[in-house]
């Protein structure tokens, strides 16, 4: 029968996870709606309300893969204990709090990944080199891919020979097609399969044979979703270009906020995977619900202030450049969720802003600022490993 110390550590770890999720809800999930607020397409309070709901839903339905990676995939040979989880979460939360109050761009994914690697090594575990290699490659590809997608998107929106009644609906079609293939934990799937998408679920129900490894039914569902999205936004832009663009901004912000919740919740819940799943024997949905609750509270209580600040920055960028920055955010976030790789939305959005700016002939961000940001990201990763390692040793020495 677990003793008082065990339950005290469980309580502390849970509260720390909630605090981390609250911080993520207040900060990391806010940027998607900032362009819509800057364009006066939605009010700040309504945006904060939607962010909380959408990010929490994303956390519940898409957060499992990244939570598992953070909790069990970063270290081999040991399992993360409640004390180690507390040390890792406190380290990551401390770094994020420093970033909030100092103004430095501290990426949550870098801080949490480094912290959990540090406490895992302090436990006596072995480095999960293959996982580190996958994460490093993905992180390295984010800036050029995000910047490149943003550049292409901004170029399409700026071309005189492509009217906005065509260019914006085309982007909506791409987003709609991707949404049809987004993996969701609530959709029934075979026991040996990963989370299923709407297109995959329909394909299994229809039962059509695959052609060269491609399911025709899934392709048809994808094309149908793209066509519906295209037609809806096209009608809006034909009625009024400004109204159509603002509608697309709100929809795009919604799907990015949903994706943000799914990709970020694992940073708060991952350290508790072993504690909740193995030691307490609770289903994974309970842990994701804990993280979703924290994200919901953070978005509702902390997001409005940040939204007002970031919306002014996006208003300066302009509506089309803002769209160019958010489209890659959605695509890359869903790719990361599918691969179970923790990511930083700061990394994606900043790269997208730079790429969108290049389409207009100027990035709008100085080389020095880019260099300082990249250097700070690397310092965050390395320092969080060291702090996580040392903090767990201190806890172990004090609490035994």
**What would the DSSP string read from start to end of 190-203?**
-TTS--B-HHHHHH
Tens of pLDDT, residues 322-348: 788 888 888 998 999 988 899 877 678
DSSP run (H or E) holding 13:
helix 4-27
Burial of 378 per CB tally in 10 Å (0-12, 13-18, 19+): exposed
Q: Determine the pLDDT at residue 291.
A: 92
Task: Kindly state the DSSP code that residue 71 receives in the 8-state scheme.
Answer: I
CA–CA gap between residue 398 and residue 400 (Å, rounded) = 6
The closest of 176, 92, 88, 74 to 130, measured between CA atoms, is 74
Q: Which residues contact 205 (CB under 8 A, 6 or more apart)?
A: none
Contact 181, 335 (CB under 8 A): no
CA–CA gap between residue 237 and residue 248 (Å, rounded) = 9
Place of tokens 């034909």: 238
The closest of 270, 394, 281, 392 to 2, measured between CA atoms, is 281
CA–CA gap between residue 118 and residue 115 (Å, rounded) = 5
The closest of 14, 57, 10 to 295, measured between CA atoms, is 57
Tens of pLDDT, residues 381-393: 999 999 999 999 9
Burial of 100 per CB tally in 10 Å (0-12, 13-18, 19+): middle
Taken in order 185, 48, 312, 92, the sign of the CA dihedral is negative
Predicted TM-score (pTM) of the model is 0.87
pLDDT in 10s for each residue of the chain, 400 residues: 467 877 888 888 899 899 889 888 877 777 788 777 877 778 888 888 898 999 999 999 998 889 999 988 999 989 898 889 989 999 988 888 777 676 566 788 899 999 999 999 999 999 999 999 999 999 989 888 888 888 888 888 887 778 888 889 999 999 999 999 988 887 776 655 555 888 888 888 887 777 777 788 889 999 999 999 999 999 999 999 888 888 998 899 899 899 989 988 999 999 999 888 888 888 888 999 999 999 999 888 877 777 766 666 665 667 777 788 888 888 998 999 988 899 877 678 777 777 776 666 554 555 666 677 778 788 889 999 999 999 999 988 887 6
């Amino acid at each position: 029968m677990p003793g008082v110390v065990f339950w005290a550590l469980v309580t502390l770890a849970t509260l720390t996870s909630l605090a981390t999720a609250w911080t993520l809800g207040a900060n990391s999930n806010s940027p998607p709606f900032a362009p819509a607020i800057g364009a006066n397409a939605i009010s700040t309070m309504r945006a904060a309300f939607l962010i909380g709901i959408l990010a929490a839903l994303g956390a519940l339905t898409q957060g499992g893969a990244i939570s598992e990676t953070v909790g069990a995939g970063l270290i081999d040979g040991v399992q993360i204990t409640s004390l180690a989880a507390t040390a890792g979460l406190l380290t990551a939360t401390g770094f994020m709090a420093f970033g909030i109050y100092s103004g430095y761009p501290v990426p949550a994914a870098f801080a949490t990944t480094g912290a959990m690697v540090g406490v895992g090594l302090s436990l006596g575990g072995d480095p999960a080199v293959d996982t580190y290699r996958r994460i490093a490659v993905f992180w390295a590809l984010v800036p050029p891919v995000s910047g490149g997608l943003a550049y292409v998107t901004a170029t399409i929106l700026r071309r005189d020979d492509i009217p906005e009644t065509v260019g914006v609906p085309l982007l909506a079609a791409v987003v709609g097609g991707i949404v049809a293939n987004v993996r969701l934990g609530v959709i029934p799937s075979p026991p040996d399969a990963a989370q299923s998408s709407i297109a995959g679920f329909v394909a299994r129900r229809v039962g059509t044979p695959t052609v060269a490894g491609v399911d025709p039914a899934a392709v048809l569902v994808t094309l149908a979703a793209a066509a519906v999205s295209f037609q809806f936004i096209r009608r809006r832009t034909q009625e009024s270009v400004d109204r159509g663009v603002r509608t697309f901004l709100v929809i795009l912000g919604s799907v990015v906020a949903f994706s943000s919740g799914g990709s970020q919740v694992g940073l708060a819940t991952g350290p508790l995977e072993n504690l909740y799943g193995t030691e307490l024997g609770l289903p994974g949905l309970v842990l994701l619900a804990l993280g979703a609750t924290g994200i919901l509270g953070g978005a509702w209580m902390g997001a409005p202030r940040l939204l007002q600040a970031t919306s002014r920055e996006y208003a300066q960028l302009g509506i089309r450049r803002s769209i160019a920055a958010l489209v890659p955010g959605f695509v890359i976030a869903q790719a990361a969720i599918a691969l179970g790789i923790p990511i930083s939305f700061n990394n994606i959005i900043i790269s997208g802003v730079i790429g969108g700016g290049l389409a207009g002939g100027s990035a709008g961000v100085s080389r020095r600022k880019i260099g300082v940001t990249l250097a700070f990201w690397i310092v965050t990763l390395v320092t969080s490993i060291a702090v996580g390692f040392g903090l767990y040793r201190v806890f172990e020495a004090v609490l035994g």
